[in-house]
Structure formats: structure tokens, C-alpha cells
Amino acid sequence: MENHSTTAMPLTSDLPNKKQTVCIFGTGDFGRSLGHRMLQCGYTIVYGSRNPKNTKLIPQGATVLSQTEAAETSDIIIIAIPRIHYNSLERLKETLSGKVLVDVSNNLKMNQYPESNAEYLAQLFPESKVVKAFNTVSAWALQSGGLDANRQVLVCGNDSKAKEKVMDIVRSLGLTPLDKGSLLAAKEIEDYPLQLFPTWKYSIYLSLGLTALLFIYCLIRDVVYAYVTGNKDLSFFIAITIPNRICPIVALILLGLVYLPGIIAAILQLYRGTKYSRFPDWLDKWMLGRKQLGLVALAFAFLHVLFTLVIPLRYYVRWRADSNVLQQAFKNKTDAFRTDYAWLSDSYLTLGILGFFLFLLLGITSLPSVTNSVNWREFRFVQSYLGYLTVVLCTAHTLIYGGSRFLYARSYPWGLPPAYMFSLIIPCIVLVIKFVLIFPCLDKPLTAIRQGWERKPKHLHESQNLSRSSV
């Protein structure tokens, strides 16, 4: 009989069958948290300290020895001390020769030193195998077992075997190692924890710039104009009225900017006849930042909803309503009910509610925890088809809000158009071009190009014709 057997490969490393001893230099917060986590995962931890008698904060089960004695107990030494104290370890150069030194340090600011801390450590100990790891993980992440924080650990080093040993430790701690290559990547890894929203920078700058420009525009159009021409003080518009106009405008512009690069990419692919040609760098960066643009747009849309909900509570709104009622009472005349106005009002609100609901759905599905739980077809359906539907609903919501007021001269004080008109430019461009691209004469070749088909250049056709004629 044939013996059929299967071997299952674990997704993460199991705990070491035989307890491995790991030495940690440094008894600070991070060194203690890392040692505590490794003790829980079955490792034997030996701390190397300049003052081995001070063991009050050391995790229970760990041993504290002098740095020389501790270094002799393990082939892997985790250097959890600041860079300024690396020189104090030079007396251990012979003891540390051939051992794996794991540098976990970070700096106070980017480009603080000409070389990375790991490269500096490698210069001090050329006979040792230096690996950079664990600097992107916080002490809190280690204490919580990676459940409430980022699980990814960036690793780099020149010795592949030393890196593999460190990556095995990372896996056994329930974290995910990511090999970044040689020690030349250490500087990039050390700068990573010091970056403040690196992928959000352009989205935030753009949204703040749009907000500032629109604020100045609305201030001149609504407040300054009323004061100059009619001596009316409408400065209180700054608190709610103007922000409630700015937020939906910025949200709709950013939403249009989320889908505009996809339109531009489709046009370029149709023009070039292939998908194997790089997009311009600015378009690549734009497409990579679409998620951040969408989430910032959602934040502005959410602010618009909150500002709208408090409108009935405003003194100015209640005063206008009461004044209108009194004027009708004095005139003994009631405004006639208009069904067309009721339809427009209800349609405007319904489109806004549906648009915001889909906006929220897009934001939720862009979260990593949700993205990982859906397949590519489901993700594309939500982000593409429902995304364009969101643009349609929000654009229609704005069009109905504006109505026919753009036809009247009083809507242009000092010749300035209503601010909402600016929010329609990019979404309308996106929708018009997208409508053209779905025609079969364009959609079929575009789909074929994205599946790998290439349109042969004209000079290639001519060369083929020449070769056939010669034959």
C-alpha cells in the first residue's frame, strides 16, 4: 500500500522546542517589554547591565548579569541602549565577535547623524553580525502581544543567516517580519517611526489650502460685500454658515480628485495602446494617494452633516423664521404651497443622505481590517462602481441645491459666482469623461489593454509588411 502523507506548513513559527537564550543589553522600558514578551514565548532572557544588582524592574524569570557575563550566554544580543552609549561596549569587542547584534534604537529626529545607528554599530564591531529590527514596534505593542498595534517589524542586515535568526524570533513573538535588504536600508527604517503622516501629507496640504482659499472667497462674497454695500454686520457667518459652505465644496472636490487619476490613466493607456508603459511620476503619486484623499473628503463631508444638523438651533435661523411668520400675519397672507419646491427640497435631502451613506461605505471598506476580509472583485465593486455612484449622487445633490440661482444677477455680488459652483467642475469632468469611456468602442480596447493586449506601433506594421513583400 502506498503511504500518502501531507505536511502542513505553519503560517508563523511555533515556539522554540528548546528554549533559546537571548541576551538583552539595556533595562529601559523597551528592553524590559521585549524581554517580558520573549519570556512569555519560551525564551530564556539574560539582561546585561552596568549595575546588575539593581533588579527591581526586571521581568520575573529573567536573569541579570554584568554585560561581559551576559554576552557569553547567547549568540544573539539585543542592543537596547541609546547610540551615545555604544562606545561603552567596545571593551566587549572580543566577546561579541561573531555574534548577532540586534540594533533596536531610534533617533530623536531625522538625519540626526550622517549614518544610521545600525551602520555605526557595525563600524564599532566589524567582526559581529549587525541586524536592524524592532525599532518600528512600540513597548505597548510588545506588552499587548501585537493585538492593539502594528504587527509589522522591518528587518535589515548584511548577513542572511543572522537576519533569518532574528526573523524567527519576530515570528515567534506573533509579529510579522519584513526583510528590507542590506544594512543600507537601516537609515530608512530608523526614519520611519519619526515620520508624521508621510502618506497623508499631500492630501492634508491640499485640503487645508482649498479650505483657506474658499474661506477667504466666502468671507469677501458674503460678509465684506454686505458690510460695504449695505452696512450689514454678518460677521457671525464665520462660525457656521461659511464653514458649512466650505466643507461640502472641499469634500466634493477631493472626491472628484480620487477618481480623476483613474480617468487620466485610462486615456494614457488608450493613447499608448499598452499597459506596460510607466505612468508619469506625478500620476503614480496621485494614484497612490487616492485612499488618503477619499478619507479626508469623508471627514469634510461628516463635518458638513454636523453643521447641517445644528442649523435649526441657530438664533439667526429661528429669527428669520419668526420674522417671516410675523410678516405673513401683518399682511394677512400666507405663501401658497408649491409642489415643485417640495419635490426639489425632498430630492435634495434624499440625494445628500444616500450620497453620504455611500461615502461612509467607501471609507469603511478602505480600512485594512475590512479590505483584508473581502476579495478583489468585491473591493473593486465597492470602490469603483459604488464610488462613481457616490460622485453622481453628491454632484446631483449640489446641482439641486444650486437650482436656477446661477441665472440671476443677484447671485453674483461683485461678479463673484456662488462658491458651490467651484465644487462641480472636477466631478462633472470626471463623470462626462467616464460616460464617454464606457462606450463599447472605447471600453472594449481599454479592457483588452488592461488584460495584456498591446496595439502594435505603426513602424512595426510597416516593417512586417516589408518583410512579407520581400518573401
Q: Supply the pTM of this predicted model.
A: 0.74
| Three cell numbers, residue 305 | 452633516
**Percent of the chain scoring above 70 in pLDDT:** 91
Asked if pLDDT for residue 145 goes beyond 90, the answer is: no
- CA torsion 55→60→62→64, rounded to 10°? 10
> CA neighbours within 13 Å on the CB side: how many for 364?
10
Beta strand pairing status for 21-25 and 76-79? Answer: parallel
Between the two ends of the chain, the Cα-to-Cα distance in Å is 62
Note the pLDDT of residue 146.
Answer: 52
Lowest mean pLDDT across 68-82, 147-161, 264-278: 147-161
| Alpha-carbon span 219 to 225, nearest angstrom | 9
Sheet with strand 76-79: strands edge to edge = 63-66, 44-49, 21-25, 76-79, 100-103, 129-132, 152-157, 176-179
Reduced to 3 states (helix: H, G, I; strand: E, B; else coil), residue 77 is strand
Higher pLDDT: 255 or 322? It is 255
Phi, psi of 176 (to 5 degrees): -115, 115
Note the pLDDT of residue 458.
Answer: 53
CA angle 197, 199, 205 (to 5 degrees): 75
- CA torsion 201→207→209→211, rounded to 10°? -150
Helix (H) or strand (E) holding 347: helix 339-365
Chain segment 64-110, per-residue pLDDT in tens: 998 999 999 999 999 999 999 999 899 999 999 999 999 999 988 88
Q: Name the β-bridge partners of 154.
A: 178
Helix (H) or strand (E) holding 409: none
Which among 101, 97, 105 has a CA at the least distance from the CA of 80?
105
- CA torsion 421→426→427→429, rounded to 10°? 110
Phi, psi of 115 (to 5 degrees): -120, 165
Asked if pLDDT for residue 182 goes beyond 80, the answer is: yes
Note the pLDDT of residue 460.
Answer: 46
The arithmetic mean of pLDDT across residues 137-160, rounded, is 77
| Alpha-carbon span 213 to 220, nearest angstrom | 11
Chain segment 396-451, per-residue pLDDT in tens: 999 999 988 888 888 999 999 999 999 999 999 999 999 999 999 999 999 999 88
Note the pLDDT of residue 109.
Answer: 85
The arithmetic mean of pLDDT across residues 353-369, rounded, is 91
Lowest mean pLDDT across 71-85, 209-223, 362-376: 362-376
| Three cell numbers, residue 239 | 462660525
